[in-house]
Every structure is written in C-alpha cells, then in structure tokens.
Amino acid sequence: MTEPIDVLEALLFASDTPVETTTIREVLELDSPDAARELVDALGTRLRSQGRALQVIEVGGGFRLVTRTEVAPWLVKLARSRTRQRLSRPALETLAIIAYRQPVSRPEVDAVRGVNSEGVLDNLLERRLVRIAGRKDTPGRPFLYETTRDFLVAFGLRDLADLPKPEGELNIPDVSAPDGSGQAELDKELAAATDSSQQDPGPGGAELAPRG
C-alpha cells in the first residue's frame, strides 16, 4: 500500500511550482496544515538519512523537491549542454527596481533607468516574473508592477524579506509632485528615452541567468 510520505514525494517531484501546505492537506486528506508540515519534515529526514541527491526546501510560500548543492558541478555540466533562456542585463536591472520598490509604475522605472522600459517589461510579464498589480492614482493612471511567486522561485527566495539589503537608497522621482517639477523631470527622461538610439534592447544584450 502506498504511504502518504511516498505520495508527497511524488507530488513535489511532479509539480513545477511550490506546493503549499493547504494543497498537501487537501490532496492527502490530512487533519490539518500542521500534519502536512510534519509529513514534509518526515520526507526531508528520510531523504537525508538515505543520502539521496534530493532535498525538500521551502520557497515561494510552498515546498519543492530540489537537488543538493553537492551535485551542482554535474548539473552545471548538463546546463552548459543545453540552450537556456536567460535574462538580459536590462531585464535584471528592471526586475531589481520592481522588487525593491513595488508596486511601481513604468514611468517611475523609466525615470530610474533613463530609458524606455516598455519592451523589457513586456518580456518580464511574458516570463511571469512580474505582474500588473493595478493602476496608480495619477494622471494617465499608469499600470503598477510587482514581482510574482515565479520570481521568488527563480531566485531561490522564501519571500521578499530574503532580498539582499541594498547598500544605498533607491530614489524614484515623484512624478506626481504638485508643483509639476517631478513630471517635468520625468518628461525630460522620457523624451530622451523615445530616441531610437536610447531604446531599451529588451531581451537582447549581455545575458545573465537567474539562480537555478
């Protein structure tokens, strides 16, 4: 007869997203979320005691079955033999701004970067690393962007509190300043950004990959 712990291992193996305790409880018909967490702990202990190459980690509000760091060198060799989708430097730069100052509008992102970020934002939306969180209550009502759970998973973060502490303050111009100075500053930035020579290359350019 299949044991609950075996079913849990299969669930974590088959899922491409973190599995939450409430889902584990529902699927396995357990008494409580605490019982689900105890089962996760038991699976982690079994994997360690057997010296398996897999481990259970908590990330993005749920649990995943991942490989141990000891086998990383062989995984790197495997990764090098594949064509991998990567994030460009502009994409990482934009993602960092959103992660630390979310929710944030495109005009605010443009003001910090000094270039038009429309293309790179579309790329991040397509990759499901950011999402639209609503609209800002300012003239034009621009969309507000925030990071997703896929972002947490891609960079191995449990939640946003795990983000590295920035060395300095990320200042975003107040584009809705009553005296219009903020908007004037932003208009100047956007005018320069619309010049074809300063358009963001989007998914092209130097490439970096998120943490695997």
State the DSSP H helix or E strand holding residue 64, giving kind and residue range, or none if neither: strand 62-67
Distance CA 57, CA 85 (A): 24
Spell out the domains of the chain, with CATH numbers in brackets. Answer: 4-78 (1.10.10.10), 87-208 (1.10.10.10)
Per-10-residue mean pLDDT, the chain, length 212: 89 91 93 93 94 91 90 73 65 92 93 92 91 90 91 82 73 50 43 40 44 50
Closest CA to 25 of 11, 45, 46, 13: 11
Token output for 21: 């305790």
- pLDDT tens figures, 59-87: 988 999 998 888 888 877 765 554 345 78
Closest CA to 172 of 79, 105, 74: 105
- pLDDT tens figures, 120-147: 999 999 988 999 999 988 888 999 999 9
| 3-state secondary structure at position 85 | coil
| 3-state secondary structure at position 68 | coil
